[in-house]
Amino acid sequence: MTPFLRLENISKSFGAVRSLHEVSFDLGSNEILGLIGDNGAGKSTLIKILSGVFPPDSGAFSFDGKKVNSRYYSCAQARKFGIETVHQDRSLAEKQSLWRNVFAGRHITNSLGFIRIDLEKAETLKILYDIIELTADGLDPDLPVSVLSGGERQGLAIGRAMYFQSRLVILDEPTTALSLRETEKVLGFIQKIKDAGKSCIFISHNIAQVFAVADRFLIMDRGMVVADILKKDTSLIGLTDRLLSVCQKEIPHA
């Protein structure tokens, strides 16, 4: 079966600093991939390439077996391929209303090009009720994002990605600074991504959280993939030990 996403020998450097070196892996449809590694492993650089923020220096990647011309690949093209990224912070404009956050840059318009505000508000309520499962009385799409808790904000960002029929949702440290209860909500949202038949790349320093929801684990170290492990072939302790053994390796001297 052709994987939804395939990366082949992706490399990226910034001046003398090598961020990625010949990174290769596949991602299947309806798969949750846990991307783990220490600081400086290259995780953020990798997702920025997938999100269209900047191109790789070399290598290739494809969607559904169709190779992408990385020279012209952009954030807009990433969205056309069905890739949405939810960043650790700044994914939402906190002072703007809920509905404006959902439809920013992708408004529903009529035949004359005017924004259908009532419809956008109604669709926002569906996301709040059906995906985030908020039950508070008086829930209003005109409320600012700042009224939501941290977990609810991440839920809104994930719900927005699912509403626009994304096939791959990339989550970059989505549980940072959240309480245990809020973290459980976010992990539940990740499970909903899989239940909807979509794929997810979940990036986190919390191995227990990644292990709870991922089908497979990709360990990166100093810009390289050093392990690709199926969940059925390991345990939480085994995965933690493997990651620690990678992080404790000495950096070779030039």
Q: What is the mean pLDDT of the chain?
A: 89
Confidence of residue 131 (pLDDT cuts 50, 70, 90): confident
Rounded to whole angstroms, how far apart are CA atoms 101 and 156? 9
Helix axes 150-163, 180-195, angle to 10 degrees: 10
- Residue 98 phi/psi, 5-degree rounding, is -60, -45
pLDDT exceeds cutoff 50 at 253: no
Give the chain's length: 254
For 218, counting Cβ atoms within 10 Å of its Cβ (0-12 exposed, 13-18 middle, 19+ buried), the class is buried
Instruction: Set out the domains of the chain in order of their start, with CATH numbers.
Output: 5-91+168-247 (3.40.50.300)
Mean pLDDT, residues 5-11 taken together: 95
pLDDT exceeds cutoff 70 at 107: yes
pLDDT exceeds cutoff 90 at 23: yes
Q: What is the pLDDT of residues 184-239, one digit of tens each?
A: 888 988 998 899 899 999 998 899 999 999 999 999 999 999 999 999 999 999 99
Q: Strand, helix or coil at 197?
A: coil
Give me the pLDDT at residue 254, please: 42
Rounded to whole angstroms, how far apart are CA atoms 220 and 36? 6
Rounded to whole angstroms, how far apart are CA atoms 133 and 125? 10
| CB atoms closer than 10 angstroms to residue 84 | 23
pLDDT exceeds cutoff 80 at 179: yes
Token couple for 60: 């290739």
Task: Name 235's Cβ contacts closer than 8 Å, sequence gap at least 6.
Answer: none
Q: How many helices (H) and strands (E) does the chain have?
A: 8, 10
Residue linked to tokens 């991440």? 154
Look at 66-75, 88-97, 165-174 and tell me which has the smallest mean pLDDT. 88-97
Mean pLDDT, residues 11-38 taken together: 94
Q: What is the pLDDT of residues 69-86, one digit of tens each?
A: 888 899 889 988 899 988
Give the global pTM. Answer: 0.88
Give the CA-trace dihedral at 152, 154, 156, 160, to 10 degrees.
-170
Give me the pLDDT at residue 150, please: 84
Token couple for 194: 């899989």
Rounded to whole angstroms, how far apart are CA atoms 102 and 163? 9
Give me the pLDDT at residue 186, please: 87
Confidence of residue 121 (pLDDT cuts 50, 70, 90): very high
For 233, counting Cβ atoms within 10 Å of its Cβ (0-12 exposed, 13-18 middle, 19+ buried), the class is exposed
Give me the pLDDT at residue 246, please: 81
Task: Name 62's Cβ contacts closer than 8 Å, sequence gap at least 6.
Answer: 5, 6, 8, 68
pLDDT exceeds cutoff 90 at 99: yes
Q: What is the pLDDT of residues 148-166, one digit of tens each?
A: 888 888 888 888 888 888 8
